[in-house]
Chain A
């Protein structure tokens, strides 16, 4: 016989429906996939129910603008969560970096690029300290970054006081100009997500974070310098928060010490919705964007539907619990 049918023996094991259920579960467990579908469905429903208000260019570009700052911070947070840690000081970092940059320009006449550079360098220092004390000295990340949250909020008050306005034109242009009719912060957000998505998928350096979050001991014994890598993740998280803070200050045309209040928890929520886990080892950068996008859309629809703000918080909380619960249920089922 010339014609032979090759059958993979592995495919013959186990009843078929069982297999397809497992594949379905696997897809549902991939949060990038399930969240994307959910977002598409919600958008279609919202467009049908609110055809006048939801699917307009103005509404959608505003929606993206609103989540751009959170998403830039969420990218750094996602990387930390992948490696099994988190940073509570990012919200204060946003205010401090923006305030410091504005302070240097307004009170000391620093040129725009120099002021921004110093703003970013301050974040580098903060991230270095967080990372050093956590990775090398063993302070718990929760405690270290909680303390830093307070320190930086105080610092933001010092540098921004009651608020700084009348910032240089070129500085405001960074966050207020448009490209193809869409506000610049949206482009910065997309650029950050694209760059880090690529790096995390395609460079050895960033891939190591999955191993550190998966099993730090095994990672160390596989030759990964866990402490150094952890410290770098905190530096990156702080610097991205500073980028977001400077961008927000520019967009608003003013520095305020209250900027980014509560942002850290919003960002962690977005990252968890986007597939991260507090125990580490899982998550994709694009999940941070999807998580933030989902939260943004839900908030947007509730505003259009004139639902009170307090309900937004309640509903988001319920959605977060349901998402994580569903995940645990699927994992238990696949291991049973």
Chain B
């Protein structure tokens, strides 16, 4: 089947997720899509899978325009997708997961268990996955096996187009080998595969052509034989800087020292942070940056290692103690971890420092409101009323609300996790200004960001993480995106 996308655009409130994207998939082709985090790859896949509708543009299947209404419709058109986040039910068997909603039935309409198990076994055998028993519960499988069951589920519908979204992120080398064998098999039978990955080695091993996206824009399509990994990295990151370099406020006074810290998804992390310094943390999604931040903050358990804040050994088992000691953490996902959506701006701002709204013995909502008003002015949060629910604010203003919470809590060290994710350019610039201002006041800032230009522009030093370990440290000045990417990607 020949798939073509022409002029596809998709807008989310305040963000252009996709802007005039072209894409072309030939029968029997493995076509890789690359781009940094947030380049728009997942949005594009969701459009093909029928989860999202494009705001502009056309999808053509065999030269016929189609509108993919929903995932069921996508499946009937012959498009199957293997998601990064698994869509399996842990409490059901492998067979029932693979044939979810399409279980073979006898003519009474009753599920034919023998046929179900038989077909599953046949399918798994074709995919060289005999080690997975059809009747075993999915919850008992390893992460990698689950991923392979997910692939089997997609293939059970005999799709003409298979979309794989970061399929090797959680599987072993041997399983990856099996997966590539499956891809080649599909290719030989005239099926097409869209392969999304960060890993250069895999892309160069399996893909025929490659399309690069960046910030929702189409960068170009190349035959794999005509490009080198270096070219590809340049296509992925080459863009104008949004944040200009400012004067550094870094001092030599040590504020935070982390020694051999290990926890969920990372190990043996050692670094220091100085007063007035902005320390960037770069790395791909899954490199362990958020886990490190949340472990420092007492939200995730620490396995081993030591942390000193202002020369004192820090022992925290709950964010409450971390805040008392002088740490702040602006979470990555502001909707699910940062904001109280149904609460007012005032309620949101005082959430980490209620005491500020307690002039005497009792909490005073008018004091809270005045505080909220002063932070609304200071951070230029656009809302007519501080009593309005934050639900109605734009992404940039919502992020400023979470930042205001931490300004009010006044920590010595503030960890900001993807502080400009999904917000518009204007709000980004203001957040950069605030972070610089905080550093100038003598705070230490740890900036976790997948947007390399912002790390390069703001950070005094950059730690690069790869798969839970420290891959290297780079100076903030004069470092290029290519140097960071070379450390971050394998």
Measured in the bound complex, the distance between the Cα atoms of B321 and A221 in whole Å is 11
Determine the distance from Cα of A59 to Cα of B18 in the docked complex, in whole angstroms: 68
- The answer to whether B341 and A215 touch across the interface, beta carbons within 8 angstroms, is yes
Q: Min CB distance, A30 to chain B, in Å?
A: 12
Contacting residues, chain A, for B329 (C-beta < 8 A): 221
* Contact residues in A for B384 (Cβ distance below 8 Å): 8, 10-11, 13
Q: B347 contacts A204, CB within 8 Å?
A: no
A204 near B355: Cβ-Cβ < 8 Å: yes
Chain A nearest CB, measured from B154 CB (Å): 31
Binary A-proximity of B359-399 (CB < 8 A = 1, otherwise 0): 00011110000000000000000001100000100000000
Establish whether residues B319 and A222, one from each chain, have CB atoms under 8 Å apart when the complex forms.
Answer: yes
| Docked-complex contact A204 and B340, CB < 8 angstroms | no
Q: Judge if B56 is at the interface, Cβ distance under 8 Å.
A: no
> What sequence of 0s and 1s flags, for each residue 335-363 of chain B, a beta carbon within 8 Å of any chain A beta carbon?
01111111100010001101100100011
> Which residue on chain B has the smallest CB distance to residue A281?
B342
B340 / chain A contacts, CB cutoff of 8 Å? 210-211, 214-215, 218-219, 281
Do B363 and A222 touch (CB < 8 A)?
no
Asked if A224 and B320 sit within 8 Å, CB to CB, the answer is yes
Q: Let me know if A214 and B343 touch, CB within 8 A.
A: yes
Closest to A215 in B: B340
A207 close to chain B: CB less than 8 A: yes
Does A214 lie within 8 Å of B319, measured CB to CB?
no
Instruction: Identify which of B342, B364, B405 gathers the most chain A CB atoms within 10 Å of its CB.
Output: B342
Q: Kindly supply a per-residue 1/0 record for chain A positions 193-227, scoring 1 wherever the CB is within 8 Å of any chain B CB and 0 otherwise.
A: 00000000111100110110011011111111100
Which of A11, A215, A223 meets B322, CB within 8 Å? A223
**A211–B343 touching, CB < 8 Å:** yes
Q: Which residue of B lies closest to A217 (CB)?
A: B337
User: Which single member of B323, B343, B364 contacts A223 (CB below 8 Å)?
Assistant: B323
| A123 at the binding interface (Cβ < 8 Å) | no
What residues on A are CB-neighbors of B351 within 8 Å? 211, 218-219, 222, 224
Q: How far is the CA of A237 from the CA of B391 in the complex (A)?
A: 31
Query: A282 on the interface (CB 8 Å rule)?
Result: yes
Given contacts A220-B319, A221-B329, A281-B342, contact A204 B358 (CB under 8 A): yes
Contact assessment for A225 and B363 in the assembled complex, using a CB-CB cutoff below 8 Å: no
Task: List the interface of chain A (C-beta within 8 A of B).
Answer: 8, 10-11, 13, 201-204, 207-208, 210-211, 214-215, 217-225, 281-282, 335
- Determine how close the nearest CB of chain A comes to the CB of B329; give it in whole angstroms: 6
CB of A62, distance to nearest CB on chain B (Å): 36
**Which applies to chain A's interface (DSSP): helix, strand, loop or mixed?**
helix
Q: How many residues of B contact A (CB 8 A)?
A: 32
Q: How far is B331's CA from A217's CA once the two chains are assembled, in angstroms?
A: 10
- Distance in angstroms from B58 CB to nearest chain A CB is 30
Residue of B whose beta carbon sits closest to that of A280 = B342
Does B318 count as interface, using CB distance less than 8 angstroms? yes
- Jot down 11 A-B pairs with beta carbons below 8 A, ordered by A: A8-B384, A202-B363, A207-B363, A208-B354, A211-B343, A214-B340, A214-B341, A222-B405, A224-B351, A281-B342, A281-B343
Q: In the complex, are the beta carbons of A202 and B336 less than 8 A apart?
A: no
Give the complex CA separation of A130 and B141 in angstroms. 34
Chain A neighbourhood of B365, CB < 8 A: 201
Task: Give Cα distance in the complex from A211 to B339, angstroms.
Answer: 10
Complex formed: what's the CA distance from A210 to B385 in Å?
A: 20
**Inter-subunit contact A203/B362 (CB<8 Å):** yes
CB neighbours of B23 from chain A (8 A): none
Q: Does B297 contact A (CB under 8 A)?
A: yes
Whether the Cβ atoms of B354 and A204 lie closer than 8 Å is: yes
State how many angstroms separate the Cβ of A298 from the closest Cβ of chain B. 29
Residue of A nearest to B362 (CB): A202
Closest to A203 in B: B363
Residue B299 interfacial (CB < 8 Å): yes
| A206: min CB distance to chain B, Å | 9
The smallest beta-carbon distance between B291 and chain A, in angstroms, is 14
Residue from A207, A218, A225 within 8 A of B338 (CB atoms):
A218
B314-337 interface bits toward A, Cβ cutoff 8 Å, 1 = contact, 0 = none: 000011101110000101000011
Total CB contacts across the A-B interface at under 8 A: 77
Whole-angstrom distance between the alpha carbons of A210 and B389 in the complex?
A: 14
- The 6 A-B residue pairs with the shortest CB-CB distance, nearest first, are A10-B384, A214-B340, A204-B354, A202-B362, A223-B320, A222-B351
Question: CB distance A222 to B352 under 8 Å?
Answer: yes
Cβ contact within 8 Å between B319 and A217: no
The reply to whether A220 and B299 contact each other, CB–CB distance below 8 Å, is yes
Give bound CA distance, A8 to B385, whole Å. 11
Report how far A77 CA is from B299 CA in the complex, Å. 29
CA distance A13 to B382 in the complex (A): 13
Set of chain B residues within 8 Å of A214, measured between Cβ atoms:
340-343
Instruction: Tell whether, in the assembled complex, residue A218 and residue B342 are in contact, meaning their CB atoms are under 8 Å apart.
Output: no
Q: Which residues of A are found within 8 Å of B364, using beta-carbon distances? A: 202
User: By the criterion CB–CB under 8 Å, are B337 and A223 in contact?
Assistant: no
Could you tell me the distance between the alpha carbons of A202 and B385 in the complex, rounded to whole angstroms? 22
Q: How far is the CB of A167 from chain B (nearest CB, A)?
A: 40
What is the distance, in angstroms, from B402's C-beta to the closest C-beta of chain A?
9
A211 to B354, CA, bound (A): 12
Query: What is the bound-complex CA distance between A39 and B323, given in angstroms?
Result: 46
Which residues from B are CB-within-8-Å of A219? 340, 351
Complex Cα gap A93–B352 (Å): 36
Q: A218-B337, A281-B340 are in contact. List 10 more A-B contacts (CB 8 A).
A: A11-B384, A201-B363, A204-B354, A207-B354, A214-B343, A215-B339, A220-B319, A223-B318, A225-B320, A281-B343
List of B residues within 8 angstroms of A282 by Cβ: 342
Q: Given A204-B355, A221-B297 in contact, is the A210-B343 Cβ separation under 8 Å? A: yes
Whole-angstrom distance between the alpha carbons of A335 and B391 in the complex? 9
Could you tell me if A218 and B362 are in contact, using CB atoms closer than 8 angstroms? no
Q: Known interface pairs A10-B384, A211-B351. Does A221 touch B338 (Cβ–Cβ under 8 Å)?
A: yes
Chain A residue at minimum C-beta to C-beta distance from B321: A223
Q: Which residues of B contact A202 (CB under 8 A)?
A: 362-364
Is B343's CB under 8 angstroms from A221's CB?
Answer: no
CB distance from B14 to the nearest CB of A (A): 17
For A212, give the chain B residue with the smallest CB separation: B340
CB-CB < 8 A to A281: which residues of B?
340, 342-343
Chain A nearest CB, measured from B298 CB (Å):
9
Separation of A327 and B238 alpha carbons in the complex (Å):
51
Contact in complex: A210, B338 (CB < 8 Å): no
Cα distance, A211 to B363, chains bound together (Å): 15
Give the contacting residue for B363; candidates A10, A204, A221, A224; CB below 8 A.
A204
| Least distance between B359 CB and chain A CB atoms (Å) | 12
The 8 Å CB contact of B319, one of A8, A203, A204, A223, is A223
Query: Smallest CB–CB gap between B316 and chain A, Å?
Result: 10
Q: A204 contacts which chain B residues (CB < 8 A)? A: 354-355, 358, 363
> In the complex, A10→B384 CA distance in Å?
6
How distant is the Cα of A202 from the Cα of B361 in the complex, in angstroms? 9
Known: A203-B363, A207-B363, A210-B347. A218 touches B320 (CB 8 A): no
Closest CB-CB distance, B398 to chain A, in whole Å?
Answer: 12
CB neighbours of A13 from chain B (8 A): 384
List, in ascending order, chain B residues with CB within 8 A of A335's CB: 391
Could you say which residues of chain B place their CB within 8 Å of the CB of A225? 318, 320
A223 to B355, CA, bound (A): 13
Closest residue of chain B to A8 (Cβ to Cβ) is: B384
Nearest CB in chain A: distance from B137 CB, A: 20
